[in-house]
Structure 1
Amino acid sequence: MAQGPGQHQGYGVPASAPPPNAPLFQDTSGLTQFPPPPSMAAAQHLINNPMVSAAAVQYGSEFAQQGQAYVNKGINRLLAITNLKTYFAVDTSYVLKKLSLLLFPYTHRNWMVGYGESGRTSPKDDINAPDLYIPVMGLVTFVLLNGVVLGTQSRFTPEALGVAGSSLLAWLAAEVLLLWLCLYLLAVTSQLRWLDIISFCGYKYVSMIVSVGLSLVGGSTVYYCALGYTALAITYFMVYSYLQLHYEPNSLPLCYRSRV
């Protein structure tokens, strides 16, 4: 059955033909209009705004401060590395003299640490300067000696060396932190540094090596005798070494001035 032009055909869509000259797509170019770019006068006005200038100056100042802090941090790290190398600047002559001083400190007279143009002199040029070579080598040697003692007792295992080394490092860290905390709480001002405290705390390994080494030869009696002597020697050494780093030469107590 035929349908008229005003009737619907198929799915309710009206059958109407578009005008013959109608465009296929609607022109929408005029619907969205972007604002014109700001003129140079507006940009200059924004720059001359006092609030904008103040914000830019503040931001630049903060950026410069952050950069300066970063550079200072890098310089401090470099100085720390340089100071650490100074503590290992030793030679054979210094090591032999320092070991003799640790075991026989009673005849030593001059305990003052020397200073040059660049600061404290290196250990190889001054026997009184603290170093880290002897403490590090002393710790390693004592761990190996502990393995020898366990071997003579048929109790040696590879894990025992690791346990001994870890225990020594833990006790050393606790000792250093305790001494630093005591100096801080007592408000003691001295020339001691962190590395100085580690160095002085590590010198005791020399006494421990001597005592344990003699015990392998002479037994427990020789061990206790050697332990008592080396304990007194390292105490004497520590007292005078600490005093020369803590006090000025003219402010030392009278009982110590003759030896400094």
Structure 2
Amino acid sequence: MHPRYTSSPPNPGAPLQQQQSAYMTQAYPFQPQQQAPLQHQQHNMGQMRPQPQLHQQPGAPVDFAAWGMNDATAQFGMQLGQSAVAAGQDYVQKNFGGFMPYGTLKHHFNVSNSYVVYKLRLVLFPWRHKPWTRRVHRPDQGYNQGPPPPQAAVGEWMPPRDDINSPDLYIPLMALVTYILLSALHKGFTGHFDPAIFGSLASRALGVLLLDVAFVKMGCYVLGVGSGGDGLGGGAVADVFAYGGYKFVGVILTLLAGMCGAGVMLWSTVFLYAFFANAFFLLRSLRSVVLPDAINSSGTVNPSQRKKRITFLFLEAVSQIIYMGILVRI
């Protein structure tokens, strides 16, 4: 008895590939459904386009709604931030403005690349430089040589970028940082490096600098320098720091000579040259301040005061060998 078929039996002449495809379809009935989400995702990714960025003009008002912020809340936040900044500036001005005003710092950091190059050359080779007097800007006479009038302010001096004889704070600050890093590098070469060396070097350098500044200010106060409209003036602390900070240039030169393997004789020669150059630079720079010319200065200096001021200049110049000797011993 033969079995009955409800449908036609498979064609024996059909290709083997079609039969295998039918078996695969029965074995994996969910295969077409797995490909559908991928096609849907690719279709959605094809429809996605990068959103254009909003470019705002510099002078246009800020659109806070684009950032999801309310205009009133944003304005309140901006006013609160401005009030905090103004309060911080007022606090700094009240507590530190009397010691070194912001205008003074801005004036002493007004330098250029050419000024830095010429100033470094002047500090290391001051022997044939002329003149040494600072240039003053008088509104009615323009730029002139010589000391300022009796009511001279810091802003009346020409900035360092326009006057090679004007003291700056950029070179002393960079020289101080370079001295600390170079000394730490020297300690590393000798195998005695310690992270705490940075603090000790900074403390030593600042201590020497403050000692030098205190000596100059005390001498100017005792001798009355600046009381008659000449000299450093009562509040020109930045000038004293600048003149005292130039010694680090010679100290760096001496350290480089030691790191290059110079012998004791060569190292001593470099150190003595750096000392004499710095001492001569201070003598010539401070001479027009401590001993102003009678023609250009409103104050008069009698022979006794002149002798005392010359002695003070000599002591300030000679004391540099002590300060520099402390700094080079690392």
Q: 2-side partners of 1:231 and 1:185: how far apart?
A: 26
Residue 128 of structure 1 corresponds to 165
**Structure 1 residue 147, shift from structure 2 partner:** 0.7
* Aligned-partner SS, 2:263: helix
Identify which range, 240-249 or 77-86, moves more after superposition: 77-86
Residue 242 of structure 2 corresponds to 199
Specify which of 147, 152, 164 is matched with residue 189 of structure 2. Answer: 152
Deviations 1:204-234 (A, max 9, x none): 0000000110111123322210010111111
- Are 1:161 and 2:182 an aligned pair? no
**Structure 1 residue 149, shift from structure 2 partner:** 1.1
Q: 1-side partners of 2:216 and 2:102: how far apart?
A: 23
Question: Kindly tell me: are residues 119 and 226 of structure 1, through their superposed partners in 2, closer, same or farther at Cα, counting changes over 3 Å?
Answer: same
Contact 2:231 2:292 in 1 (8 A): no
Q: 2-side partners of 1:168 and 1:77: how far apart?
A: 24
Q: 1-side partners of 2:292 and 2:279: how far apart?
A: 21
Residue 106 of structure 2 corresponds to 85
Q: 1-side partners of 2:280 and 2:295: how far apart?
A: 20
Question: Aligned partner of 2:290: which letter?
Answer: H
Q: Which residues in structure 2 correspond to 1:1-260 (within 5 Å)?
A: 77=97, 80-116=101-137, 117=139, 118-189=155-226, 190-192=230-232, 193-217=236-260, 218-250=262-294
**Structure 1 residue 250, shift from structure 2 partner:** 4.5
* Aligned-partner SS, 1:105: coil
Identify which range, 122-131 or 183-192, moves more after superposition: 183-192
Instruction: Normalising by structure 1, report the TM-score.
Output: 0.64
CA RMSD of aligned residues (A): 2.3
Q: Higher Cα Rg: structure 1 or 2?
A: 1
Question: Aligned partner of 1:213: which letter?
Answer: L
**Structure 1 residue 251, shift from structure 2 partner:** 5.7
* Aligned-partner SS, 2:164: coil
**Structure 1 residue 172, shift from structure 2 partner:** 1.2
Instruction: Normalising by structure 2, report the TM-score.
Output: 0.51
Q: 1-side partners of 2:162 and 2:201: how far apart?
A: 34
State the percentage of identical aligned residues.
Answer: 30
Q: 1-side partners of 2:207 and 2:183: how far apart?
A: 17
**Structure 1 residue 98, shift from structure 2 partner:** 0.3
Q: 1-side partners of 2:217 and 2:292: how far apart?
A: 20
Q: 1-side partners of 2:184 and 2:295: how far apart?
A: 47
Q: 2-side partners of 1:238 and 1:178: how far apart?
A: 14
* Aligned-partner SS, 1:110: coil
Q: 1-side partners of 2:263 and 2:123: how far apart?
A: 23
Q: 2-side partners of 1:181 and 1:119: how far apart?
A: 25
Q: 2-side partners of 1:246 and 1:179: how far apart?
A: 11
Question: Aligned partner of 2:121: which letter?
Answer: S
Contact 2:231 2:288 in 1 (8 A): no
Deviations 1:151-195 (A, max 9, x none): 111001111011101121122112211221122123333421211
